[in-house]
């Protein structure tokens, strides 16, 4: 059985080491523990080890986990069908994967009135891959300008999920592009976009070097993803 607390410590050590290399303050980098395919006992173990933020990308799978652990912050990081926006607006504090005006508008309208604004990031298809979620860099600024007009959403920054590569120098390119896009949108619209959600188990060091503030980590904390049919 894997030791989640130990894995979180090892991850934190790597974050500290990498931030120092980049001349960054390690406390500016937060870990989003991605729990897809993992059971509640694993989430519980991470909570006991001090982990505060959890991410899921399949709604069906997420809802029972959100209900079981309402005390932590839940982030939705998966693709969004517009008929699912209400349940997302009611159950999550953060959404990293907004990529259309329609979805943004619905999340805004369906956010319960007694809740704080929903923190959102715009997902960017940074390498312009065909068939991939996210807005293109060309359309990102317009979507950002539309979201800032929505009172029940708080635009926090940009998110990306680039094409996987194991080469460090290549990993940095889309992350650098996302940072530059964020800087550009922020300055032309005159808004603060503090967050960059980028980097996963295989590439978080490159993402930290390029300015990530949310690294989304699954396997390095919980071990390999479980497949359906695995004995629990
Ligand atoms: C699964 C997933 C992650 C975490 O992936 P690991 O490689 O296991 O760290 C991060 N972001 C998104 C959007 C994911 O779907």
pLDDT average, residue stretch 160-175: 96
Shortest-distance Cα residue to atom 7 of ligand 1: 201
Pairing of strands 30-34, 118-124: unpaired
Burial 66-105 (b: 16+ CB within 10 A, else e): beebeebebbbbbbbeeebbeebbebbebbbbbbbeebbb
Q: Average pLDDT in the 128-144 region?
A: 95
Which residue among 4, 14, 31, 55 is best mutated to probe the pocket of ligand 1, counting the most ligand atoms within 8 A of its Cβ?
55
Q: How far is CA 49 from the centre of its chain?
A: 20
Tell how far the Cα of 101 is from the centroid of ligand 1, in angstroms: 24
pLDDT of residue 229: 42
Question: What is the DSSP code (8-state) at residue 135?
Answer: B
Residue for token digits 């120098």?
A: 169
Q: Token match 């029940």: residue?
A: 152
Ligand 1 atom closest to the CA of 96, numbered from 1 = 13
Ligand 1 nearest atom to the CA of residue 57, by list position: 15
CA–centroid distance, residue 96 to ligand 1 (Å):
12
Average pLDDT over the chain reads: 95
Specify the pLDDT at position 227.
Answer: 64
Q: What is the CB-side half-sphere exposure of residue 129 using CA atoms within 13 A?
A: 14
Q: H or E element: which one contains 31?
A: strand 30-34
Return the pLDDT at 224: 87
Residue spans of alpha helices (H) in the chain: 4-22, 40-48, 59-68, 85-91, 101-110, 137-147, 168-189, 204-209, 219-222
CB 153 within 8 A of CB 118: yes
pTM: 0.96
Q: pLDDT at position 51, please? A: 98
Residue 232 has pLDDT above 50, yes or no: no
Say how many Å lie between the CA of residue 215 and the centre of ligand 1. Answer: 9
Q: For residue 217, which atom of ligand 1 is closest to its CA?
A: 9
Backbone φ and ψ for 55, nearest 5 degrees, come out as -125, 145
Give dist(CA 148, CA 165) in Å, integer: 34
pLDDT of residue 38: 94
Q: Is 196 a residue whose pLDDT tops 50?
A: yes
What pLDDT digit, counting tens, does each position of 71-123 carry? 999 999 999 999 999 999 999 999 999 999 999 999 999 999 999 999 999 99
Between the CA of 165 and the centroid of ligand 1 the distance, in Å, is 14
Q: Could you report the per-residue pLDDT of 48-67, keeping only the tens digit for each?
A: 999 999 999 999 999 999 99
Q: Which residues line ligand 1 (CB under 6 A)?
A: 34, 36, 57, 77, 161, 200-202, 216-220
Mean pLDDT of 148-170: 97
d(CA 171, CA 163): 9
Residue 29 has pLDDT above 50, yes or no: yes
pLDDT at 70: 97
Lowest mean pLDDT among 128-132, 183-187, 188-192: 128-132
Q: Check if the beta carbon of residue 4 is closer than 8 Å to that of residue 49.
A: yes
CA separation for the pair 125, 72 (Å, rounded): 29
202-218 residue pLDDT tens:
999 999 999 999 999 99
Whether residue 75 contacts residue 92, with contact meaning beta carbons closer than 8 Å, is answered with: yes
Task: Examine the pLDDT at 228 and tell me if it is beyond 60.
Answer: no
**Which of 218, 224, 227 is the pocket-test mutation for ligand 1 (most atoms within 8 Å of CB)?**
218
Residue 225 pLDDT class (50, 70, 90 cuts): confident
- The residues facing 53 across adjacent strands are 73
């Amino acid at each position: 059985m894997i030791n989640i607390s130990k894995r979180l410590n090892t991850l934190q050590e790597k974050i500290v080491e990498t931030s120092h290399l980049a001349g960054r303050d390690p406390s500016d980098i937060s870990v989003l523990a991605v729990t897809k395919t993992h059971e509640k006992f694993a989430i519980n173990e991470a909570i006991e080890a001090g982990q505060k933020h959890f991410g899921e990308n399949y709604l069906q799978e997420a809802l029972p986990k959100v209900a079981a652990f309402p005390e932590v912050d839940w982030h939705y990081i998966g693709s969004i069908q517009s008929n699912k926006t209400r349940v997302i607006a009611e159950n999550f504090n953060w959404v990293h994967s907004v990529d259309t005006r329609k979805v943004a508008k619905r999340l805004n309208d369906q956010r319960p009135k007694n809740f704080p604004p929903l923190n959102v990031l715009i997902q960017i298809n940074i390498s312009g891959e065909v068939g991939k979620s996210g807005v293109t860099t060309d359309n990102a600024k317009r979507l950002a300008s539309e979201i800032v007009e929505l009172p029940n959403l708080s635009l926090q920054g940009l998110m990306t999920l680039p094409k996987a590569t194991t080469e460090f120098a290549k990993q940095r390119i889309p992350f650098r592009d996302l940072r530059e896009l964020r800087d550009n949108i922020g300055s032309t619209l005159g808004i603060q976009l503090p967050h960059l959600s980028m980097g996963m188990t295989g590439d978080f060091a490159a993402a930290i070097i390029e300015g990530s503030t949310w690294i989304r980590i699954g396997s390095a904390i919980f071990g390999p993803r479980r497949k359906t049919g695995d004995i629990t």
